[in-house]
Amino acid sequence: MGAMRDSIAGLVKQEGWRGEGAAARVHYDGGGDRFAIEFYAGADLVVYWTVPRESESATPVPRETIPTPLRRRIRDDLAAAGVDPDVERQPV
């Protein structure tokens, strides 16, 4: 349980990240696209969500559709938080 808290605490020190229990979330808005990225510490899993500008619900999206610079930023944030950045590549 301590490692889980440590990974979330490490992520919330990174720009834009917020902790929510055993998960951390960051939002990205750029190039006309809006995403929410969530890291689940218990599962060592990263999930990308597209966030519509209208009142529609967010939906998960395949990581292959995420811009490379954003994926790189997420891996860098994970590494800075002491989390293996390869968890970003794990299939959901």
Give pTM, 2 decimals: 0.89
Tell me the residue ranges of DSSP E strands in the chain.
Answer: 18-20, 23-30, 33-40, 45-50, 59-60
Which residue type does 43 have?
A: A
Q: What is the pLDDT along the chain (92 residues), one digit of tens a residue?
A: 566 688 999 999 999 999 999 999 999 987 778 999 999 998 999 999 998 877 678 899 999 999 999 999 999 999 999 999 999 999 88
